[in-house]
């Protein structure tokens, strides 16, 4: 049934229709409500419950923190009156912040080391003794000397591109000089004997010894 309109004629007998859905009259013996009364308190289900008797905290996955951080976080959380859940979030946030800081430092260190390795390579290529136009040929001489004399561990160390020690100009110079003496027959390896062989220091750096 639709609501009556303003211009709807009154029913026969001159009586106005009763408005639909009219509120029932108030029941008797009910005291009127006090408009000035304070609202009833509503319990917040998310309200903190306070610190527990003992915190049960777990180290986050891929943690970078020392295990002692659990006790440190628990002590700090108790001072603040935090719940166990809040203390766990604090521990995870701390681990995340330190992880980001360490990652940034590592990236910066790696970038700086790569610049140093590249600088060594450029200095070696332009070295006055073995660099310049003859660099490729002289590099081959140095590599041959390294392969002949260096232990597998040393060769792996000097050939590692991440470390870059094989780019150091003085390392290249050392093996270039050894290789040059090996080609000329003036270098005597350890354990070998030759008439009139000069000490290694004199072969590499010239001059007299003693």
How many other C-beta atoms can be found within 10 angstroms of the C-beta atom of residue 145? Answer: 21
Instruction: Please give the pLDDT value at position 195.
Output: 47
Contact yes or no for 146/155 (Cβ under 8 A): yes
Give the Å distances, CA to CA, from 129 to 26, 37, 135, 144, 207. Answer: 111, 98, 9, 18, 18
- Mean pLDDT, residues 181-200 taken together: 61
Tokens 């940034």 correspond to 104
In the structure encoding, which two tokens stand for residue 101, read together? 């800081």
Among the ranges given (46-55, 121-130, 146-155, 166-175), the one the predictor scored with the smallest mean pLDDT: 46-55
- Mean pLDDT, residues 84-104 taken together: 93
More confident residue, 135 or 37: 135
pLDDT above 70 for 78: yes
More confident residue, 13 or 73: 73
Instruction: Please give the pLDDT value at position 210.
Output: 47
Helix (H) or strand (E) holding 30: none
Instruction: Please give the pLDDT value at position 32.
Output: 61
- Mean pLDDT, residues 117-132 taken together: 95
The span from the CA of 189 to the CA of 186, in Å, is: 10
Triad 134, 157, 206: Cα angle to 5°: 50
- The residues, ordered by sequence, that sit 6+ positions from 4 with a Cβ below 8 Å of its Cβ are 17
Q: Which of 107, 53, 120 is nearest to 84 (CA)?
A: 53
The chain-wide mean pLDDT, for the chain, equals 80
pLDDT above 70 for 47: no
The span from the CA of 111 to the CA of 149, in Å, is: 32
The span from the CA of 103 to the CA of 111, in Å, is: 12
Q: Name the percent of the chain lying above pLDDT 70.
A: 65
More confident residue, 125 or 196: 125
Predicted structure pTM score = 0.53
The span from the CA of 197 to the CA of 188, in Å, is: 7
The span from the CA of 137 to the CA of 142, in Å, is: 9
CA 187 centroid distance within chain: 50
Instruction: Please give the pLDDT value at position 156.
Output: 93
- Mean pLDDT, residues 93-110 taken together: 93
More confident residue, 192 or 81: 81
The span from the CA of 132 to the CA of 209, in Å, is: 32
Q: Name the percent of the chain lying above pLDDT 90.
A: 59
- Mean pLDDT, residues 80-99 taken together: 93
């Amino acid at each position: 049934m639709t609501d009556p309109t303003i211009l709807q004629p009154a029913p026969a007998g001159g009586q106005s229709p009763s408005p639909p859905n009219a509120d029932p009259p108030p029941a008797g013996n009910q005291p009127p409500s006090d408009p000035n009364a304070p609202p009833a308190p509503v319990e917040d289900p998310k309200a903190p419950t306070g610190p527990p008797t003992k915190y049960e905290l777990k180290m986050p996955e891929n943690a970078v923190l020392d295990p002692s951080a659990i006790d440190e976080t628990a002590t700090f959380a108790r001072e603040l009156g935090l719940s166990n859940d809040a203390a766990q979030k604090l521990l995870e946030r701390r681990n995340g912040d330190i992880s980001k800081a360490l990652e940034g430092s590592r990236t910066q260190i790696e970038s700086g080391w790569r610049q140093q390795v590249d600088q060594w390579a450029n200095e070696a290529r332009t070295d006055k003794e073995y660099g310049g136009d003859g660099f490729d040929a002289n590099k081959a001489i140095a590599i041959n000397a390294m392969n002949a004399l260096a232990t597998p561990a040393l060769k792996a160390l000097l050939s590692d591109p991440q470390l870059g020690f094989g780019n150091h100009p003085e390392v290249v110079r050392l093996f270039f000089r050894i290789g040059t003496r090996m080609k000329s027959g003036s270098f005597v390896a350890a354990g070998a004997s030759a008439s009139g062989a000069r000490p290694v220091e004199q072969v590499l750096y010239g001059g007299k010894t003693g």
